[in-house]
Structure 1
Amino acid sequence: MNHAPSHWNRLSPLALAALTLAAAAGCTPSEAATPPAAEAESAAAPAKGPKVDTETYVMEMKPTKKYKAGQEDTVEVTLIPKAPYHINDKYPIKFKPTDPAPDGIKYTKAVLKKEDGAVDDKKAVFKVPFVAAKAGQAKVSGVLYMSVCSDANCIMDKQELEANVDVE
């Protein structure tokens, strides 16, 4: 007769309870161990583009005119919170142009901080300076780091934005 304990007898009561719950829920142990937050984050990440519209804010990067090759100019990045949210005045809001810059674009400022823009509780606007090397379509891009708050909570976020500009 073998007196060695089976592998089931060596499991802690907590591990046994977790396996029982996973089996009852129809999950395999590996599926039960997958953190749902990771799945939600990857599914919720919006594709980068000129505009991000969430339940709490809208941010946008947009060209403001036609641009000339070799001349410094700007695109506009805006953040507008949706009620009941407002821009968190304690958060160091900033915009960082993509590094390295997209082909044919040179950014003249590595980071735009709160003091480089026009920021109040209802709107933030940054003028992102750049120089396009040649005529045609060019892509300007970067990441806006921000926070919006309501009376109940604050949300810190960063979003990648990009916009196409026409260069003459």
Structure 2
Amino acid sequence: MIHAPSLRASLPSSPSRASRAALTALSALALTGALAGCTASEAATPPPGSDVQAAPAAAKGPKVDSETYTIEMKPTGKYKAGQEGSVEVTLVPKAPYHINDKYPIKFKPTEPAPDGIKYPKAVLKKEDGTVDDKKALFKVPFVVSKAGPTKVSGTLYMSVCSEANCIMDKQELEASVDVE
């Protein structure tokens, strides 16, 4: 059980709704951090539905560049209709951050897939990629049934940590590919 005596001491004897919500959010953050492999002193992105707000996610695109990490989805070669190809998804933390080795990092292609695209794997887990403390790389396989420009997309679920805090995040990515 998590106790916050200094916080409780500062609350009025009959706490307001906002005070109770703040205490609940702090407890949820501590529990979320513990489940993700962070210590109790590390901060984490709050769970959905809590009163504490995370930074807004960047717009869907091929690259996300935040203060703590860079994520990129890029084409890896030529693509032919009916043949399997792949795009690379990379996560590179910025100093002093590193990839949280206790977090179940994964990439989920968009579901349902747009017409004409099939993803052979519904989820790429840590063991499907190359992950160390400085970089994560996933090769996302796909098959496009017809020639022309198309978009490959999905969501990367990840966590980066520093000595001061851990950040859990998910980012939607989308890359354009030309299929012959």
TM-score greater than 0.5 by the shorter chain: yes
The runs of 5 or more residues in structure 1 that have no matched partner are 1-12, 16-34
- When normalised by structure 1's length, the TM-score is 0.75
Provide the rounded CA distance (Å) in 2 between the counterparts of 1:145 and 1:89: 13
Q: What's the CA shift string for 1:21-78, capped at 9, x where partnerless?
A: xxxxxxxxxxxxxx9855x75xx22110000000000001100112000001110000
| 2:137 pairs with one of 105, 125, 139 | 125
Task: Give 1:100's aligned amino acid.
Answer: P
| 2:72 pairs with one of 54, 60, 67 | 60
Q: List structure 1 runs of 4+ shifted beyond 2 angstroms.
A: 35-38
| 1:113 pairs with one of 116, 121, 125 | 125
Task: Give 2:117's aligned amino acid.
Answer: I
| 1:162 pairs with one of 169, 174, 180 | 174
Cα RMSD for the two superposed structures: 1.8
- When normalised by structure 2's length, the TM-score is 0.70
Task: Give 1:93's aligned amino acid.
Answer: I
Does structure 1 residue 142 correspond to structure 2 residue 154?
yes
Instruction: Find the structure with the greater CA-based Rg.
Output: 1
Does structure 1 residue 94 correspond to structure 2 residue 96?
no
Q: What is the percent sequence identity of the aligned residues?
A: 79
Report the count of equivalent residues. 134
Provide the rounded CA distance (Å) in 2 between the counterparts of 1:86 and 1:14: 39
The runs of 5 or more residues in structure 2 that have no matched partner are 1-13, 17-49
Match of 2:36 in 1: none
